[in-house]
Amino acid sequence: MGQGPVLGIEATAHTASVGIVQPAEDGGVEILTNVSASYLPTEGGIHPREAANHHAEVLPRLIREALAEASIIPGDLEAVAFSQGPGLGPCLRTGASAARALALTVGRPLVGVNHCVAHLEVGRAVLGCQDPVLLYASGGNTQVIAYAAGRYRVFGETLDIGIGNMLDKLGREMGLPFPAGPTLERMALSGERFLPLPYSVKGMDVAFSGILTAALNLHSKGEPTDDLAMSVQETAFAMLVEVTERAMAHVGRDEVLLGGGVAANSRLREMATIMAGERGARCFAPPPRLCVDNGAMIAVLGEMMLDAGATTPLEESGVMQRFRTDEVEVTWR
């Protein structure tokens, strides 16, 4: 680990967040602070430009708050890390601009990090798992990732929409606020009758548009929303857990790590834990605040990369909307 604190800026989608971490005495990292503000559309989904305006407005305040909460001054920072991608262009650029401005002001290096890899590394750093298969389930991303020969590689992913997008679209039809996941989770607790929905698993890949279409149909036919919420969760999550288990068997790993906003769902966490238990493996689920998009995970990966000397020169700090997980050369582990 590096010597001093690293500040991380996250702005890939609807959440702007700033976290600060510092090396811990045991060789791990300590999260000093993690503050966020989310853009919530009044109706419909995320409008990238509006989200970016929101982030531009709140980031200076979040940075001040984070520094104050961590009781450090900007000059104490060793580096400034930021989400370089993947994500929505306007949001990414806002986060990157804030990071560049701060790094230039304090004269410290920038560390551009891959958002998806950060979801994995925060789990390893905080929960102490060694070499897990990551189930990364969020709004736009649904991937099963594991480390192999110097890279994090995607073993499975969604063939159409991210699981969170699917839940949000269903929620929107039901008149639920964005993001719909937490409300659907509560409704599912009262669901009693299981309604069959398309179960679409192809190898280690999944597809969700079939579930969405079928669920919207059942909704328009007046099926109780609680039953529908329960059935959608049970079906979609079983698909996720199945492909995760298949990846674990395929690459021979006995740890599963959860990440992404949808991994904050208690039922998904329970299902992954049962799966791991049945195959003699262990399930690691970060606290929900570290599952959702957050600045601390960006700072965690920034700290690891800084330690390995992987800083980002200004001229290479442009954002990459389609930054692939397996494009990152992993030099820090």
Partner 1 sequence: MSPDDAWKGERVIAQGAEAVLEEGTYLGRQAVLKLRRPKGYRHPQLEETIRVSRTRAEARALRDARSAGIRTPAVLDMDAEGGRLVLEGISGPTVRASIDGLEEEDRSRVAHALGGTLGRLHAAGLVHGDPTTSNFIMEDLPPEGPVSLAVLDISLGGRAEGVEERGVDLRLLGEAFGATHHAHQDLFEVILEGYREAFPDGADEAIARMEVIGARGRYVTKGSREETQEGDG
* Contact region with partner 1 (CB under 8 A), list: 21-29, 62-70, 230-238, 298-306: 230-238
Task: Considering only residues 64 through 123, tell me which ones interact with partner 1, judged by CB under 8 A.
Answer: 86-90, 93
By beta-carbon proximity to partner 1, the closer residue of 13 and 110 is 13
Q: Is the dihedral of CA 132, 13, 104, 325 positive or negative?
A: positive
Give me the 34-53 binding string for partner 1, x by CB under 8 A, dash otherwise: ----------xxxxxx--x-
- Contact flag: residue 312 with partner 1 (CB under 8 A): no
Residue window 236-265: x/- pattern of binding to partner 1, with contact defined by CB under 8 A: --x--xx--xxxxxxx--------------
Spatial separation of the C-alpha atoms in residues 242 and 271, rounded to whole Å: 10
Where b means 16+ CB within 10 Å and e means fewer, 60-84 reads: eebbeebbeebebebebbbbbbbbb
What character string, x for contact with partner 1 (CB under 8 A) and - otherwise, covers 175-194? -------------------x
Yes or no: say if 212 and 180 are a contact pair by the CB < 8 Å rule: no
Residue 295 tokens, joined: 């600045």
- Out of 68, 73, 159, 314, the only residue in the binding site for partner 1 (CB under 8 A) is 159
Contact 201, 229 (CB under 8 A): no
> Per the structure block, which two tokens stand in for 100?
């560049």
- Cβ proximity to partner 1: between 4 and 45 the closer is 45
Q: Are 257 and 247 in contact (CB under 8 A)?
A: no
| E-only strand ranges, the chain | 6-11, 15-23, 29-38, 79-85, 110-114, 133-137, 142-148, 151-157, 201-202, 205-206, 255-259, 282-284
Smaller CB separation from partner 1, 293 or 303: 293
Q: Which is nearer to partner 1, 93 or 124 (CB)?
A: 93
Q: Which stretch binds partner 1 (CB under 8 A): 66-74, 149-157, 253-261, 309-317?
A: 149-157
- Contact letters for partner 1, residues 199-228 (x by CB under 8 A): x-xxxxx-----------------------
What mask of x and - would describe binding to partner 1 in positions 314 to 333, judged by CB under 8 A?
-------xxxx---------
Closer CB to partner 1, residue 132 or residue 156? 156
d(CA 309, CA 127): 24
Q: Which residue, 34 or 244, is less far from partner 1 as judged by CB? A: 244
Does residue 6 touch partner 1 according to CB under 8 A? no
Minimal distance, residue 241 CB to partner 1, in Å: 5
Strand order in the sheet with 110-114: 29-38, 15-23, 6-11, 79-85, 110-114
Residue 132 tokens read as: 């897990």
Asked if residue 153 binds partner 1 (CB under 8 A), the reply is: yes
Taking CB under 8 A as the criterion, the residue among 17, 34, 158, 311 binding partner 1 is 158
CB-based contacts of 284: which residues, under 8 Å, 6+ apart?
A: 123, 127, 128, 129, 132, 255, 256, 257, 258
Q: Which residues contact 270 (CB under 8 A, 6 or more apart)?
A: none
Among 21, 271, 285, 310, binds partner 1 (CB under 8 A): 271
What counts of helices (H) and strands (E) characterise the chain? Answer: 10, 12
> Which chain residues interact with partner 1 by CB under 8 A?
12-13, 44-49, 52, 86-90, 93, 139-141, 148-149, 151, 153-162, 165, 169, 194, 196, 199, 201-205, 234-235, 238, 241-242, 245-251, 270-272, 274-275, 277-279, 321-324
